[in-house]
């Protein structure tokens, strides 16, 4: 930032504080709201990152894999209340042997075909996607886009920095949740992980999936470690704490699921 930009930024911050309209400031984020960046900025960044990934990793055209992932993802999306302004969720299957899946701000969902041998049924896939959608609707990406190495880089600039081969590209991608794909591991914080687990558990149950399978998923993830650790595990370490928290909330999730089923929510997605 040069001197003139600093003066401009200070003026913007002051007017933001005085008018209480902080959310639309480019690069400054909702100063009053605690989030690091606006929803619109994060959506632009998510879209740019998703386009970059589609160039880097082959997209699967397998109709069965696509129909299966769409079936699970759409079941979750249909009951998700998203406060970030996503209009349409884009769902892409990547032909990629590493076990991973992600959701990005702006409503972008990606699933690697390598996840299928670890998340072996619709309920486990729903657990992964519910968790990932949880990160998006709780705006977990936004706060860390303006911390650490990325502090001082306006989020509004980052989408442009992704398209060029910028030295910060890997860090930006990791900040938004695509670290493993770019060789930069940057897990979310423990409280964010815990929140995403609980939101995910609730979403999968509301969609009619079996919430107990979320625990099976984490057991499978751990069991798949050793020779070939699932990529998802690099940013989502499995732990006893994670499983204990899911167990502690299971009764509530089971009654949520029973309610969903009585409303006719019985997803039957098969690969």
164, containing H or E segment: none
Q: Footprint of Zn ion on residues 245-264 (CB under 5 A)?
A: none
Burial 57-80 (b: 16+ CB within 10 A, else e): beebeeeebbebbbbbbebbbebb
d(CA 246, CA 127): 11
Binding mask 157-186 for Zn ion (x = CB under 5 A): ------------------------------
As to burial, measured by CB atoms within 10 angstroms (0-12 exposed, 13-18 middle, 19+ buried), residue 195 is: middle
Give yes or no for a contact between 55 and 173, defined as CB atoms under 8 angstroms apart: no
Which residue sits closest to Zn ion, CB atoms considered?
196
Q: Which of 132, 193, 195, 240 is catalytic?
A: 132
Stretch that binds Zn ion, among 12-20, 88-96, 164-172, 194-202 (CB under 5 A): 194-202
Q: Is 132 a catalytic residue?
A: yes
Stretch that binds Zn ion, among 18-26, 101-109, 151-159, 189-197 (CB under 5 A): 189-197
**Number of residues engaging Zn ion in binding (CB under 5 A):** 1
Q: Which is nearer to Zn ion, 99 or 196 (CB)?
A: 196
Residues 192, 81, 221: CA angle, nearest 5 degrees: 45
Stretch that binds Zn ion, among 160-168, 195-203, 215-223, 261-269 (CB under 5 A): 195-203
Cα 152 → chain centroid? 23
Cα 98 → chain centroid? 17
Q: Which is nearer to Zn ion, 236 or 257 (CB)?
A: 236
Pick from 86, 101, 196, 253 the residue near Zn ion by CB under 5 A: 196
Least Å from the CB of residue 202 to Zn ion: 15
d(CA 39, CA 144): 14
Mapping DSSP to helix (H, G, I), strand (E, B) and coil, where does residue 138 land?
coil
Q: Which is nearer to Zn ion, 188 or 209 (CB)?
A: 188
Residues 105, 135, 268: CA angle, nearest 5 degrees: 95
Stretch that binds Zn ion, among 21-29, 73-81, 101-109, 196-204 (CB under 5 A): 196-204
128 contacts Zn ion (rule: CB under 5 A): no
List active site positions. 132
Residues near Zn ion, by CB under 5 A: 196
């Amino acid at each position: 930032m040069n001197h003139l930009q600093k003066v401009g930024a200070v003026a913007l911050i002051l007017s933001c504080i005085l008018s209480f309209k902080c959310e639309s400031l480019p690069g400054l984020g909702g100063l009053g709201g605690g989030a690091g960046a606006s929803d619109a900025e994060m959506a632009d960044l998510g879209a740019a990152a998703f386009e970059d990934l589609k160039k880097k990793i082959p997209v699967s055209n397998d109709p069965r894999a696509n129909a299966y992932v769409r079936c699970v993802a759409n079941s979750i999306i249909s009951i998700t209340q998203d406060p970030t302004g996503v209009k349409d969720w884009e769902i892409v299957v990547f032909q990629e042997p590493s076990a991973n899946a992600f959701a990005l701000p702006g409503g972008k969902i990606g699933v690697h075909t390598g996840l299928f041998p670890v998340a072996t049924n619709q309920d486990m896939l729903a657990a992964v996607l519910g968790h990932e959608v949880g990160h998006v609707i709780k705006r977990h990406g936004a706060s860390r886009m303006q911390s650490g190495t990325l502090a001082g880089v306006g989020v509004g600039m980052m989408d442009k920095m992704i398209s060029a081969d910028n030295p910060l590209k890997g860090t930006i991608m990791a900040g938004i949740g695509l670290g493993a794909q770019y060789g930069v591991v940057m897990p979310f914080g423990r409280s964010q992980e815990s929140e995403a687990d609980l939101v995910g558990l609730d979403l999968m149950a509301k969609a009619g999936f079996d919430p107990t399978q979320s625990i099976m998923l984490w057991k499978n993830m751990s069991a798949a470690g050793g020779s070939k650790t699932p990529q998802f595990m690099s940013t989502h370490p499995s732990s006893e704490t994670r499983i204990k928290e899911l167990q502690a909330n299971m009764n509530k999730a089971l009654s949520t699921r029973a309610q969903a089923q009585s409303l006719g929510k019985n997803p039957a997605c098969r690969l």
